[in-house]
C-alpha cells in the first residue's frame, strides 16, 4: 500500500487556535501565530494540521457558533492571513484541514436573523421552527447537549426553535435543499482557497426525526451525569437520512484532488461504520474516539482494537484518537509514565492517528478557578466537572511570564509547570517526551510497516499489549507494558529473535531480544523481527 493517500500514511495534528500561539499580545491565539509555528510542526514531522473553527463568530461557544462561514473572525486575523497560512503550510509539505460546522449557526447569522423575523420569512424553513405542544410548552422533550431544554421560545413569532447545543446556536434544517446547497457552497469556497479537507463537527446530529417523537428515558442515567444523558438521543442523532447529507459532502470533495473528509460522531462501532458510506462514498475517516474513554488496561484496549478492526467495511481506512479539545488530556488520564506508552500506541496502531496540540510535550489538564471558567457547558451545568477549559489551555512554548504563547494575559491560565515543561526546554532533552514523539513520527515515516502495514495481535501476558505490523515481508513488533511492574514477554518459537528499534525511554535502540522481551515498568518497545513470523 505504498501508494496510500496522504491522509492514510500521515499524522493529523489538531490546533485549538485560541490556545496555540498569540502574535499580537491580546492573550488569544491567531492565524499569524499558527503561521509562525509552522516550522516547529514540520520539525516534529506531522503531515496535516486540523484547525478548530476560525470563522466570524460572537464566540458564545468559541467559534462553534458561526455568523459568517466565509469570513475569518477578527480575533484570529483576516482572509489574507489565512491564505498566507495555507501558502506557507503547503510550502513546508503540511496540509490544512478546517473545522466545518454544518449542524447549527450563530443566532447572529444573517440567515437566522431573517428566519426569526417572521413566519413568512423566506428563510423561515432554514431552521427548525415548531408550534408549542398541544397543552403548551416545548414541542418535544428533547434536551440540549449543554443542559436544559433544546427548544427556545420566540415570543415575536409564537414558535419554538430547536438548538442541540446553546440557544445561541440554532440548528439548521438539513432536510431543506436550500440549506444543503448553501452549506455545500461554503465547502467549495474553502476548497477553492486551497484547504485539504474538513473535519465535520457533530455530523450525527445533522438530521432530526421528521415526526418529532419524544426521546425515550435512559435506563442507565444516574445522578451526577450531564443532564442531557437523562434521555436516549434516539430521535435527535444518527438518523438514517444523515448519510444522504454525508454523501453530498463527499461528492463535493471528490470534485477536488486528494482531499479528506473527517467526521465527528461519538457512536458505537456498529453505528459508526455506516459513516464510511455505501461503497465507501461517505466519510474518509469517521473519527474513532473509543480509546479516549477506555480503561487503561491492556486487555480492554486489545478488545477495542479487535472489535474495531473486525467492524471496518472492506477497504475502509481506520483511525485513532487519544485526545481532543473536548476530553481530558491523555497525561491527566493515565499519568506521566504511561503517557509515553500511549504515544507509542497511538503512532503504531493501523490507521491515521490524530495528535492533540501539547500532548507531545506532556501537557496536563489545568485546574480552572470558578471565576476563570470560560466554557459555556460548565457554566450551564456547574459542579458536574464537564468543563472543557482544563484541556484547552495555552501551548507551552518556553519560559517566562507568557511561556512563549503571549506577551499579554492568556485567555486561560497557563499550567503551573509551564515554565519548565515546554517546547524550548524539552526540545534539547534527548530523553524527553517531545523527543520520543519526534522519534516515533520519524520511525513511522521510515517504516511502511508502521504507516500502512497489516496489523496482527500477539499473545501477551497480564498488563501487556502486543501486536505486529507487517509490510512487504518486513515485520515489526510493538510491545507495550501498560502496568507499573516489569513484565516478560516470550517471543514465538522459531521467530529468530528481534532487535529493538525504539523504546519509550529512548535508551534501548539496537538491543537484541532473543527468546523473550524484558519490559520495564511503564515501557514500550518497537522491535524488528529477525526471523520468520511466529
The three state secondary structure string of 516-527 is: EEEECCCCEEEE
- Cβ-based neighbour number of residue 475 at 10 Å: 23
**Active-site amino acid positions:** 201, 264
Tell me: the pLDDT tens digits for 395-419? 999 999 999 999 999 999 999 999 9
The rounded mean pLDDT for the chain is 97
Distance CA 224, CA 383 (A): 9
Cβ-contact 26, 408 below 8 angstroms: yes
pLDDT class for 534, splitting at 50, 70, 90? very low
Residue 98 φ then ψ, to 5°? -100, 150
H helices, E strands: number in the chain: 15, 21
Q: What architecture is domain 455-529?
A: Sandwich (2.60)
**Looking at the DSSP assignment, which residues form a beta bridge with residue 457?**
467
**Looking at the DSSP assignment, which residues form a beta bridge with residue 57?**
none
Q: Is pLDDT of 476 > 70?
A: yes
Name the nearest CA neighbour of 173 among 111, 231, 232: 111
> Residue 483's Cα: distance from chain center in Å?
26
Please, which residues have CB within 8 angstroms of residue 56's CB and are 6 or more apart in sequence?
A: 66, 67, 68, 71, 72, 73, 74
Tell me: the pLDDT tens digits for 115-148? 999 999 999 999 999 999 999 999 999 999 999 9
Opening angle at CA 69, ends 169 and 170, nearest 5: 15
Distance CA 334, CA 339 (A): 6
Structural domain boundaries in the chain: 6-105+177-441, 110-162, 455-529
The angle that helices 177-192 and 242-254 make with each other, rounded to 10 degrees, is 30
- Please state which of the ranges 301-305, 306-310, 417-421 shows the lowest mean pLDDT: 417-421
Q: E-assigned strands of 121-279? A: 129-130, 151-154, 159-162, 197-200, 260-263
pLDDT class for 495, splitting at 50, 70, 90? low
With residue 190 as reference, give the H or E element that holds it. helix 177-192
Distance CA 363, CA 358 (A): 5
Cβ-contact 47, 94 below 8 angstroms: yes
Cell readout for 506 is 529512548
CATH (residue range 110-162): 3.90.400.10
Query: DSSP letter string over 275-295?
Result: GG-GGG-S-SEE---TTTTS-
Residue 3 has a pLDDT of 75
Distance CA 450, CA 509 (A): 17
The pTM (predicted TM-score) of the whole model is 0.97
Q: Is pLDDT of 178 > 80?
A: yes
Residue 493 has a pLDDT of 59
Distance CA 530, CA 264 (A): 40
Cell readout for 491 is 517471543
If 0-12 CB within 10 Å is exposed, 13-18 middle and 19+ buried, where does residue 131 land? exposed
Tell me: the pLDDT tens digits for 203-249? 999 999 999 999 999 999 999 999 999 999 999 999 999 999 999 99
Q: What is the mean pLDDT of residues 493-497?
A: 67
Q: Which fold has domain 6-105+177-441?
A: TIM Barrel (3.20.20)
Residue 433 φ then ψ, to 5°? -65, -30
Residue 494 has a pLDDT of 54
Q: Is pLDDT of 451 > 60?
A: yes
Q: What is the mean pLDDT of residues 92-99?
A: 98
Tell me: the pLDDT tens digits for 436-449? 999 999 999 999 99
- Using DSSP bridges, classify how beta strands 352-356 and 95-100 pair: parallel, antiparallel or unpaired: unpaired
Amino acid at each position: 500500500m505504498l501508494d496510500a493517500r496522504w491522509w492514510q500514511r500521515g499524522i493529523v495534528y489538531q490546533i485549538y487556535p485560541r490556545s496555540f500561539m498569540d502574535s499580537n499580545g491580546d492573550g488569544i491565539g491567531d492565524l499569524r501565530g499558527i503561521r509562525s509555528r509552522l516550522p516547529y510542526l514540520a520539525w516534529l514531522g506531522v503531515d496535516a494540521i486540523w484547525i478548530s473553527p476560525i470563522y466570524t463568530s460572537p464566540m458564545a461557544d468559541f467559534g462553534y457558533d458561526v455568523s459568517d462561514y466565509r469570513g475569518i473572525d477578527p480575533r484570529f486575523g483576516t482572509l489574507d492571513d489565512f491564505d498566507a497560512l495555507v501558502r506557507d503550510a503547503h510550502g513546508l509539505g503540511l496540509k490544512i484541514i478546517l473545522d466545518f460546522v454544518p449542524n447549527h449557526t450563530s443566532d447572529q447569522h444573517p440567515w437566522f436573523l431573517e428566519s426569526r423575523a417572521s413566519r413568512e420569512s423566506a428563510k423561515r424553513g432554514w431552521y427548525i421552527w415548531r408550534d408549542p405542544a398541544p397543552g403548551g410548552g416545548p414541542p418535544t422533550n428533547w434536551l440540549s447537549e449543554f443542559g436544559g431544554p433544546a427548544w427556545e421560545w420566540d415570543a415575536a413569532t409564537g414558535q419554538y426553535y430547536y438548538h442541540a447545543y446553546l440557544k445561541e446556536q440554532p440548528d439548521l434544517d438539513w432536510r431543506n435543499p436550500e440549506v444543503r446547497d448553501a452549506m455545500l457552497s461554503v465547502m467549495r469556497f474553502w476548497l477553492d482557497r486551497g484547504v485539504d479537507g474538513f473535519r465535520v463537527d457533530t455530523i450525527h446530529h445533522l438530521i432530526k426525526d421528521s415526526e418529532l417523537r419524544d426521546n425515550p428515558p435512559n435506563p442507565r442515567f444516574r445522578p451526577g451525569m450531564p443532564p442531557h444523558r437523562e434521555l436516549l438521543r434516539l430521535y435527535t442523532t444518527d438518523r438514517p437520512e444523515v448519510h444522504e447529507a454525508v454523501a453530498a459532502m463527499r461528492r463535493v470533495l471528490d470534485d477536488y484532488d486528494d482531499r479528506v473528509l473527517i467526521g465527528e460522531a461519538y457512536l458505537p462501532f456498529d453505528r459508526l461504520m455506516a459513516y464510511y458510506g455505501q461503497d465507501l462514498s461517505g466519510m474518509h475517516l469517521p473519527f474513532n474516539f473509543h480509546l479516549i474513554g477506555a480503561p487503561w488496561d491492556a486487555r480492554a484496549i486489545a478488545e477495542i482494537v479487535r472489535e474495531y478492526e473486525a467492524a471496518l467495511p472492506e477497504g475502509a481506512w481506520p483511525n485513532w484518537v487519544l485526545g481532543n479539545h473536548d476530553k481530558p488530556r491523555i497525561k491527566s488520564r493515565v499519568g506521566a509514565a504511561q503517557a509515553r506508552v500511549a504515544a507509542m500506541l497511538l503512532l503504531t496502531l493501523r490507521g491515521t492517528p490524530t495528535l492533540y496540540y501539547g500532548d507531545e510535550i506532556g501537557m496536563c489538564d489545568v485546574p480552572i478557578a470558578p471565576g476563570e471558567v470560560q466554557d459555556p457547558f460548565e457554566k450551564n451545568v456547574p459542579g458536574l466537572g464537564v468543563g472543557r477549559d482544563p484541556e484547552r489551555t495555552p501551548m507551552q512554548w518556553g519560559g517566562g511570564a507568557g511561556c512563549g504563547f503571549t506577551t499579554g494575559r492568556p485567555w486561560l491560565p497557563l499550567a503551573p509547570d509551564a515554565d519548565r515543561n515546554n517546547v524550548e526546554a524539552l526540545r534539547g532533552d534527548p530523553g524527553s517526551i517531545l523527543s520520543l514523539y519526534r522519534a516515533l513520527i520519524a520511525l513511522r515515516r521510515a517504516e511502511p510497516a508502521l504507516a500502512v502495514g497489516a496489523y496482527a495481535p500477539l499473545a501477551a501476558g497480564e498488563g501487556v499489549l502486543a501486536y505486529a505490523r507487517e509490510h512487504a515481508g518486513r515485520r515489526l513488533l510493538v510491545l507495550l507494558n501498560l502496568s507499573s511492574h516489569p513484565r516478560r514477554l516470550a517471543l514465538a518459537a522459531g521467530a529468530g529473535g528481534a532487535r529493538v528499534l525504539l523504546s519509550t525511554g529512548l535508551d534501548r535502540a539496537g538491543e537484541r531480544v532473543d527468546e523473550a522481551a524484558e519490559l520495564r515498568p511503564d515501557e514500550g518497545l518497537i522491535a524488528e523481527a529477525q526471523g520468520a513470523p511466529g
